[in-house]
């Protein structure tokens, strides 16, 4: 029981430390910078709602399926290839990007637009130069099959179904 509570606490702390800052605190602080309103649309609320749903679903998958958190200091122990990850390799980042663009649309502050344009570039560089290398190192054969079947940023209309379920005993037949 203590192990489960520890895991929940770690997941909450990671969530508060990373997406809350990137998709909430930073855009809010940026929107406080005085600037003329550029392109303001209340539909940004819808993008924030959709992004929040995607982000929360992805975070829960990391906890339930991967037995880890979104934080680099406490990553999943298993490759997460279920739920939204069947359709896209980075739904968590997609959710954060939607949130940040929602903030930009909602506030109309040009500095939020600059931030919203920079965040996907930063995420892309992190994914290709760090995360994908880590996935290959940690989950080699499973990662290779998954990487070939599921797009990094796009969406597949054929949900990924691993040939071997994560954590299944290895096939020992010759």
- pLDDT tens-place string over residues 53-108: 999 999 889 888 988 878 887 888 899 999 999 999 999 999 999 999 999 999 99
CB 102 within 8 A of CB 23: no
Considering the domain boundaries, does residue 70 fall inside one? yes
pLDDT bin (cut points 50, 70, 90) of residue 164 is: low
Alpha carbon 151 to its chain's center: 14
User: Is position 53 within any domain?
Assistant: yes
User: What integer pLDDT is reported at residue 172 of this predicted model?
Assistant: 41
Q: State the total domains in the chain.
A: 1
Residue span of the structural domain in which 107 resides: 2-12+38-149
Question: 22-49 burial, b if ≥16 CB within 10 A, otherwise e?
Answer: bbbebbeebbeeeeeeeeeeeebeebbe
Residue 51: CB atoms within 10 A of its CB come to 22
Closest by Cα among 70, 63, 82 to 142? 82
Residue 160 domain-assigned (yes or no): no
Give a yes or no: residue 69 inside a domain: yes
Instruction: Rank 14-28, 57-71, 131-145 by mean pLDDT and report only the highest.
Output: 131-145
Residue 129 domain flag: yes
> Would you list the DSSP string of 83-142?
GGGGT-S-HHHHHHHHHHHHHHHHH--HHHHHHHHHHHHHHHHHIIIIIHHHHHHHHHHH
**What is the structure's pLDDT at 111?**
95
In a domain, 155, yes or no: no
Across the range 155-165, mean pLDDT stands at 84
At 169 the pLDDT is 45
159 in a structural domain: no
Q: Is residue 169 part of a domain?
A: no
Indicate the pTM of the whole model: 0.86
**Taking a C-beta distance cutoff of 8 angstroms, is the pair 61, 87 a contact?**
no
pLDDT-above-90 percentage for the chain: 60
- With beta carbons less than 8 A apart as the criterion, state whether 114 and 108 touch: no
């Amino acid at each position: 029981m203590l192990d489960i509570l520890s895991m929940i606490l770690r997941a909450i702390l990671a969530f508060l430390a990373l997406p809350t800052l990137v998709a909430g605190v930073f855009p809010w602080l940026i929107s406080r910078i005085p600037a003329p309103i550029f392109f303001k649309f209340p539909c940004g609320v819808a993008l924030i709602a959709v992004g929040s749903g995607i982000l929360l679903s992805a975070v829960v998958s990391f906890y339930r399926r991967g037995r880890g958190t979104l934080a680099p200091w406490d990553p999943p122990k298993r490759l997460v290839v279920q739920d939204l990850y069947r359709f896209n390799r980075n739904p968590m980042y997609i959710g954060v990007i939607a949130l940040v663009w929602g903030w930009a649309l909602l506030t109309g502050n040009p500095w939020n637009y600059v931030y919203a344009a920079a965040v996907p570039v930063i995420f892309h560089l992190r994914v290709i130069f760090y995360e994908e290398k880590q996935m290959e190192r940690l989950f080699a054969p499973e990662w290779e099959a998954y990487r070939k079947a599921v797009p990094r940023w796009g969406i597949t209309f054929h949900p990924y179904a691993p040939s071997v379920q994560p954590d299944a005993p290895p096939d020992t037949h010759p």
